Each structure stands twice: as C-alpha cells, then as structure tokens.
Amino acid sequence: MSTSLRSEAARAATPVGNVFDANCSARHALELISGKWAMLILPALREGPMRNAGLLRKIGGISQKVLTETLRDLERNGLVIREDRRTMPLHVEYRLSALGRSLSDALVVLDRWAEQHFPALDAARERYDALIRRARVE
C-alpha cells in the first residue's frame, strides 16, 4: 500500500461528514453512489476488468448513453479506472479502483438484499393496493 493510500485510509477511519446535511459534501457522495446504475456497474466490475460491450450485455436495460455517462462520472470520482491500451483495434477496459472496490462491498450487500427480499416487497404492495381499493369501494 502506498503512503498516500495509507494516509487516505487513516483519514477515512473517522467519519467526517453528515449525509443528512444537504450542504455537506458527504450528501453529494451519497447522491453519486445511490443511483441504480452505479449500484449495478460497480458490482459488475468486481469479477474483473470489463469492456463497454461486456457491461452493456451484463446490465440489462442500460443504454449506451447512460453507460458512457455513468462510467465517466465514476471515473471522475476515482471509483473506476479507465484503461486505454492504445492498440488497434481499440481496447478500452474499465476496472475498480481501491476506493471503488470498497464501495462495491457495500453495494453488493444492497443488491443481494433486493434479490432476496423482492418477493416480500411485491407481497406488501399487493396487500396495500387491495386495501386502498377496498377503502374506495366502501
């Protein structure tokens, strides 16, 4: 681990922000990481570097435009590293930075939660909507 990574880790050990404060930079970080696309792209890259086409295949429903924009945003914030091998044909890969990997640990937990609990959410919605319908009839 480089000195700068170590000092970054030391700083990171103490929470310094407050996501409940709309003017705190921590809120901006939360906004970046809370969109569904970041929640799919970062976990997808845990298995190893991927190219644009692979990400498009893996992440159902994402458009090329949104993928490009989200990857650039993640790169700009130091979460994803874009590697251009400068070969012909072009070979550009995306991989997680150390920071992105630590975030992906937390995101994967959320993805698993959604995959495990969606039947309970579906059932709750059905119950709620049935109650609303009944209340309207009465």
Which residues make up the interface to a second copy (CB under 8 A)? 8, 11-36, 39-40, 44, 58-61, 75-79, 99, 102-103, 106-107, 109-125, 127-129
Q: How far is the CB of 44 from a second copy (least distance, A)?
A: 7
Cα atoms found within 13 Å of the Cα of residue 4, Cβ hemisphere only: 2
- β-strand 92-96 against 80-84: which pairing, if any? antiparallel
d(CA 14, CA 2): 20
d(CA 111, CA 126): 22
The residue among 90 and 113 lying less far from a second copy, judged by its C-beta, is 113
Q: How far is the CB of 137 from a second copy (least distance, A)?
A: 19
The residue among 83 and 118 lying less far from a second copy, judged by its C-beta, is 118
The residue among 93 and 108 lying less far from a second copy, judged by its C-beta, is 108
Q: How far is the CB of 43 from a second copy (least distance, A)?
A: 8
